[in-house]
């Protein structure tokens, strides 16, 4: 071993310095209290949820109607126990009961955790119907997609929406921490950030997906399609007289039915409403409402196009002066819509 063993004598000193920060900066350590929800356990529960929702697509091969009841029943039993424990931990932490973890009080939270777990599990059959519409929306909305199986197996947008819908059920049951842990895990896997508090209708499709952000108080209708890089965010954060953020207000936009929002568009503000059957073009920055059946685009940019030879290195005419067919091709493909799709 090339390292100098004698230098390891410094390690106890480093350890003592770190432990001292646990005393002086206690807000970033959780010591001497009842345990928080366990990250690995929450992720395991989420994986089991997806296995229950989409049997045969995930870990277990060879499932059929003759054995699926036993297999799913076993998963639901394990999920019940694990989720009850994690929800109970989250509820106790939210109630700010710390210190000695009194077993009587802990039992109260376990009972409440079980009640919320059962209420959640009872909604899974209906959730499967909603997710089937999301799968269909992805297939119908993407000409590159060859089958419904491809959506379930391959599409990061559908992965993020699936976890969001599961987390949203728990959020509606007023379960703290756990829903956000689930969606942030999906965020790390897909690059798509959907807050579990957002309200999203049926037949929803996020195409490509990377960089999409959907804020906590966003409301999205049915048959809505988003492309990569779309932000549905807050315009500003109100504060109280002492400068602290005011929480619980509507900060994010409302997107009505049958709206398409193209790549890298930004729609901000709790009072902003995008009317039904509207199209928001690529890279638009929108902070005010638009009526139904609107099309919102940026003005055509002036492009400079250069050739390989020196004599060709001169500015070309702007898009406004170019033939219409050329402008469409330059602006993003086939000219069928005011955005770029990547297909």
In a domain, 249, yes or no: no
Give the model confidence (pLDDT) of 212-271 as tens digits: 999 999 999 999 999 999 999 998 777 888 878 888 889 999 999 999 999 999 999 999
* Cα–Cα dist 20/181, whole Å: 29
Q: Find the domain containing 169 and state its range.
A: 30-191
In a domain, 165, yes or no: yes
* Cα–Cα dist 51/68, whole Å: 11
Looking at residue 71, which CATH number applies to its domain? 1.10.3130.10
- Closest by alpha carbon to 86, among 49, 37, 131? 37
Looking at beta carbons, which pairs linking 68-74 to residues 24 or more positions away fall under 8 Å?
A: none
pLDDT at position 103 is 63
- Residue 244 φ/ψ region, left for φ over 0, alpha for ψ in the -120 to 50 degree band, beta for the rest: beta
In a domain, 299, yes or no: no
In a domain, 125, yes or no: yes
In a domain, 173, yes or no: yes
The encoded tokens of residue 196 equal: 């579990």
Angle between helices 156-172 and 124-141 (to 10 degrees): 150
Please count the structural domains in the chain: 1
Give the model confidence (pLDDT) of 247-257 as tens digits: 888 999 999 99
Give the model confidence (pLDDT) of 142-157 as tens digits: 999 999 999 999 999 9
In a domain, 288, yes or no: no
In a domain, 168, yes or no: yes
* Choice between 79 and 34, residue whose per-residue pLDDT is larger: 79
pLDDT at position 314 is 55
- For the entire predicted model, the pTM comes to 0.85
The length of the chain, given as a count of residues: 343
In a domain, 222, yes or no: no
Phi, psi dihedrals of residue 226, rounded to the nearest 5°: -120, 145
pLDDT at position 318 is 45
**What is the overall mean pLDDT for the chain?**
88
Contacts of 318 (CB under 8 A, 6+ apart): 300, 302, 303
* Cα–Cα dist 343/335, whole Å: 13
pLDDT at position 2 is 61
């Amino acid at each position: 071993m090339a390292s100098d063993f004698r230098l390891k004598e410094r390690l106890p000193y480093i350890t003592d310095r770190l432990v001292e920060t646990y005393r002086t900066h206690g807000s970033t350590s959780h010591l001497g209290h009842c345990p928080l929800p366990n990250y690995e356990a929450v992720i395991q529960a989420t994986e089991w949820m997806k296995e229950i929702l989409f049997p045969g697509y995930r870990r277990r091969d060879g499932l059929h109607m003759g054995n699926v009841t036993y297999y799913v029943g076993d998963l639901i039993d394990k999920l019940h126990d694990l989720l009850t424990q994690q929800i109970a931990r989250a509820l106790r932490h939210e109630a700010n009961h710390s210190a000695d973890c009194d077993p009587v009080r802990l039992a109260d939270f376990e009972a409440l955790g079980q009640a919320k777990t059962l209420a959640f599990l009872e909604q899974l059959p209906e959730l499967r119907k909603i997710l089937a519409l999301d799968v269909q929306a992805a297939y119908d909305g993407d000409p590159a997609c060859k089958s419904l199986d491809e959506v379930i197996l391959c599409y990061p947008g559908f992965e993020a929406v699936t976890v969001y819908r599961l987390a949203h059920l728990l959020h509606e049951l007023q379960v703290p921490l756990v829903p956000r842990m689930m969606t942030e895990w999906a965020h790390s896997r897909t690059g798509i950030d959907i807050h579990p508090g957002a309200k999203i209708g049926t037949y929803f499709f996020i195409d490509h997906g990377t960089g999409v952000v959907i804020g906590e108080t966003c409301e999205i209708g049915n048959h809505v399609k988003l492309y990569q890089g779309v932000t549905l965010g807050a315009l500003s954060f109100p504060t109280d007289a002492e400068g602290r953020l005011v929480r619980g207000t509507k900060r994010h936009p409302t997107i009505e039915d049958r709206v398409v929002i193209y790549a890298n568009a930004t729609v901000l503000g709790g009072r902003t409403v995008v009317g039904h059957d509207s199209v928001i073009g690529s890279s638009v920055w929108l902070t005010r409402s638009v009526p139904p059946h609107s099309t919102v685009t940026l003005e055509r940019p002036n492009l400079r196009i250069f050739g390989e030879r020196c004599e060709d290195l001169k500015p070309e005419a702007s898009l406004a002066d170019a033939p219409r067919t050329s402008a469409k091709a330059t602006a993003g493909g086939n000219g069928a819509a005011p955005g770029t799709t990547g297909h």
